[in-house]
Structure 1
Amino acid sequence: MYNNTTIVTLQLCLLLRTGVQKHVAVGRMCSILEEAYKGVQFPQHILDAYIHFESLTDHSYDFNCIRCGHYPPIIILDANRKSSFSLQGESIREPDTHIENAAQMDKFWKQVTDNIVASPMCSKDILNPYKVDVQYQNWSQWMAPDSVFPSGVVNTEHKKVPFTKNPNDENPTVLTDEYIDTLLCEGSAKLVKDIAKDVGVDSSGSKMDIIVRLQHKAKKKSLFKKIFTKLWGRSGGILVMACPHGICYGIKHLIRAESVRDHIDMILSMKHQPTIVINDLSNISAAHGNNRKKNMFAPHKGRVVDSSIENLNLLERKQLDRDMPCFNSFHQKYHVEPL
């Protein structure tokens, strides 16, 4: 019985679970059943009922990629902006300076599960005691338990927020590199141009030209807040970390727009850093990672070879050759040609 109104059988829940495991959405499965059994119509909250069933199930996460194991040598990170939810910055308290960088993953996700279990038992007049507030100090990504440190995962999303001692203080402050990374990651060309027009910055040229101008021009906190309000009206979506075979090793619901900080947080949470990290901002990720951990991406700042004039000329002539034995050791495993 769900919500004291709907009876959901075990067979239906197991059928919906099989569909999810085969990449068929719950809504589509219900449409198939409604088409197959004329007269059957599922209520709108059937998805909530199914999620409630899964929350009551004692799941064990002990599987991993049969090729990569618990410590994949290659990791791919990318964000899905379509999975964002409405989120206004004013609803989130400014983080305290003493927030720990380590997040308690198990504690956070247990609270999420308890919230789902308790929700149908709470009416409009009864507050859910397990409600999860979107705040920096109690937020955590989920990662494969056997792949991360038992002490907790790394989450420094609160450091995206520029701390202010006095909200009325208008002393000049340089627009942070973190925010520029955010514009690079999430802002479309049209959005960046609109932001530039709103704050009185020249909007001609390429997206990168405009961002450079914003970096040089936006030096007052009032202007910074105006840009940020324009950009941030929703959460940052979902950041997923997976191996080349599509097995998920981590997922993070972003409070703010995606940044390389989130990527590095996920990597630093792993017991063993992957040999190869693939994302769409590799140069910025390498620079940020090396600032957080000495020689995190080394040598050559994460590049295959040094970015010297000689190597660039060889690359342009397609004559650049690099012996990489680490690839040769598992090229058969990934069905690629050795280098």
Structure 2
Amino acid sequence: MDLHKKASFHLSVSDLAQPPEDFNGDVDSEQFWKALTEERIARGFVSSQKNNPFSVPPSFHFWAPWIGRNTRRSDCVLNTEFDKIRPAKAAEVSEITVSEDRLRDELCKQKVQVIRNLCRECGLDATGSRTDLLLRLSQEMKSREAYDKVFEKIWAASGGWAVIMCPCGIVYSLKCNIRAESPRDFADMLLSWKHMPNIVIYDFARGLSTHTNLRQPQTIPFTPFEGRLMDPTAENIAKAKAGNVKVSLPWLTCKKENPDPDGHPITGSAEHYVLYDRFHEDNTKDARDSLRKLRLVPQLAGKEYFSPVKPWERDWHPVQEKLLDYVLDVKRPGAEIIVKEGKLCLIREEFWSLGLLRDMDSHIGNACMQLIIEMARNIGKDICIENFYVVPTWKETTNIVTALPEDADMKDLIVFPAWTKANGPDHYIVCIMRPLRREIVFLDSQYAEHESGFGDEEYRAIFRQIANQIDPGIWTEMTGKDFSYTLSMVCDIEFDFQEAKKKQKHHTRCPTARPSSPRSDKN
């Protein structure tokens, strides 16, 4: 289960009417999605959404997740988002607390006008840059009164698409959150299912288990051990941390011969566990969560969501080897089209520039960056990468026009790959901006040759100018070591510079291992 932020929209709690007094969270799914279908059809016959007679505005009492007919219990499904800002139960507060840091992250995603209004409501100066406003609110949130005010306002912002899918990629439930994502959204969908899955993987496993069990105290959905794989004794926790224990769940591969009462029809088991995904299993501070790790279950080992190997460290599959040998074969025609995706066509000669020890063509550089954009989107990050051909033209004009989107100040990352001939051999440099943090990172593969760590001052000035257009004010500047940092920063993972230890074939074919320059005639 995960969240996808591409569907996010800004919506203040004051813009939403409270549901009727007798509303208990049940919504007719068939009726809602029929109404939404009619709205989409009618949209093609009116000049704007305001004139659409079939419009379905967000509301707490008529807003349903999509759950397949064969998956849900009935046409009535749950949506209890109206309860998100009500006081939580004492047992839940200790497990699920929206920290200042998490609330601050949500605050950073809001539009400037929303932040200004919050400053006014908290009695703060509402003038100045976006960063000034955020700093004032951050300091003010240390008081409980201001924290509650910010919480009620910000926690009403949309949290994107909440998605439940199986490891093979089939989507079973989908919901556009009205308010920011929380375990409640996924509990609503799971409790609407006819058969709850035996294994649930989520980035806040402890919170989901606690919340769901408190909502259904008669049945305790996640059991045994509150969804942990073992009883959380000191001995079991120590063994799990040391990697000295395994919990076999044989019914994952072979249905129980004698199914449990109310067991799942596929596995025959009535056990239900909530485990952390691989990228979040070490983020928790609760020692008991060491019993929620996927690696403890032998039947889950080797799955894509479990693999501890970084993408660029995996061994080649024999089929991949054959494909690479074919694509990079210098004896075959260089003009042969290898990839055609929409308007994009890549020929063998361009792949030679990427996979062999040659200068990289900018055309294929753009294709590689498109893959990085897709990878970022898959982990919930919204990034923008400028065209390889466009950036070099900025040195030739005083009127820099970028194709950045209107919401550039809300992007997680903006990347500018540039080709430089200044101060040394021709090579790539990269500027990465983090607008929400107002940070600029200047990356130069020839960093060691320059005291400042970046060898092209003309580009530095250009990138500073663009940053000031995105969000006027003071930005924090840093330098990095390698072009390969781009992928590392997008994925929020450490970059390992010990590339030399890898096999020679990996070193020469991996675009993140050795940045190369574009051919001068194509740049």
In structure 2, what is the equivalent of residue 117 of structure 1? Answer: 41
Give the C-alpha shift of residue 224 in structure 1. Answer: 1.1
Pairwise CA distance, 1:318: 2.5
Whether 2:26 is the aligned partner of 1:127: answer no
Q: What per-residue deviation string (whole Å, max 9, x for no partner) do you get for residues 163-222 of structure 1?
A: 8xxxxxxxxxx9x94983487877539959958734251xxxxxxxxxxxxxxx62x4x6
Of 26, 32, 38, the residue aligned with 1:108 is: 32
- Which one of 44, 51, 76 corresponds to residue 152 of structure 1? 76
SS of residue paired to 1:265:
helix
Contact preservation (8 Å) 1:235, 1:255: yes
CA 135–189 in structure 1, closer or farther in 2 if over 3 Å, else same = closer
Asked if residue 325 in structure 1 is aligned to residue 242 in structure 2, the reply is: no
Matches within 5 A, 1:36-47: none
Give how far 1:108 is off: 0.6
Name the structure where strand makes up a greater proportion of residues.
2
Task: Decide which of 239, 252, 258 is 2:181's aligned counterpart.
Answer: 258
Structure 2: which 5+ runs fail to align? 110-133, 256-266, 268-296, 301-523
CA–CA distance in structure 1, aligned partners of residues 2 and 136 of structure 2: 25
TM-superposition CA deviations, 1:104-152 (whole Å, max 9, x none)? 1111111111111112323469832211011111111111111102241
> Tell me, which stretches of 5 or more residues in structure 1 are unaligned?
1-76, 164-173, 202-216
**Contact conserved, 2:25 with 2:61, CA < 8 A, in 1?**
no
Aligned to 1:138: 62
Give the counterpart letter for 2:212 in structure 1.
Answer: G
The verdict on how the C-alpha distance between 1:183 and 1:246 changes in structure 2, with shifts beyond 3 A counting, is farther
Choose 1 or 2 for highest CA Rg: 2
Deviates more, 1:190-199 or 1:261-270: 190-199
Give the 3 Å change call, closer, same or farther, for CA 184–97 of structure 1 in structure 2.
Answer: farther
Q: Structure 1: which amino acid aligns with 2:235?
A: E
- Which of 275, 285, 289 aligns to 2:212? It is 289
Alpha-carbon shift at residue 283 of structure 1 (Å): 0.7
| Residues in 1 aligned to 2:54 and 2:96: alpha-carbon distance in whole angstroms | 33
| One-letter code aligned to 1:197 | S
Alignment RMSD, CA only?
3.4
Structure-2 change in CA distance of 1:195 and 1:140 (3 Å) = farther
Which residue of 2 is the match for residue 308 of structure 1? Answer: 233
- Report how many aligned residue pairs link the two structures: 230
Work out the CA distance in 1 between the residues paired with 2:158 and 2:229: 34
Give the superposition deviation at 1:250: 1.0
The residue number in structure 1 matching 2:466 is: none
Asked whether 1:278 is paired with 2:219, we answer no
* Aligned-partner Cα distance in 1 for 2:49–2:195: 48
Cα separation, partners in 2 of 1:181 and 1:232, compared to 1, 3 Å: closer
Secondary structure at 1:301's aligned position in 2?
helix
1:197 aligns with 2:138: yes
- Matched to 1:146, the amino acid is N
3-state DSSP of counterpart to 1:240: strand
**Structure 1 residue 326 displacement after superposition:** 2.3
- TM-score calculated relative to the size of structure 2: 0.40
Aligned match of 1:247 in 170, 191, 208?
170
Which structure would you say has the larger RCO, counting Cα contacts within 8 Å and 6 or more residues apart? 1
% identical aligned pairs: 29
1:186, 1:257 within 8 Å by CA — same for their partners in 2? Answer: no
2:103 equivalent to 1:180: no
Q: Name the structure 1 match of 2:337.
A: none
Measured against aligned partners, the alpha-carbon deviations of 1:54-100 in whole angstroms (never above 9, x if no partner) come to: xxxxxxxxxxxxxxxxxxxxxxx101123202323222112333213
Helix, strand or coil at the partner of 2:44: helix
Choose 154-163 or 249-258, whichever is displaced more.
154-163
Distance, in Å, in 1 between the alignment partners of 2:98 and 2:71 is: 28
Match of 2:158 in 1: 235
Give the whole-Å Cα distance in 2 for the aligned partners of 1:290 and 1:265: 12
- Contact persistence 1:182–1:259 (CA under 8 A): no
Query: 1:182·1:257 contact (CA, 8 Å) conserved in 2?
Result: no
Length-normalised TM-score, structure 1: 0.59
- 1:227 deviation in Å? 3.5
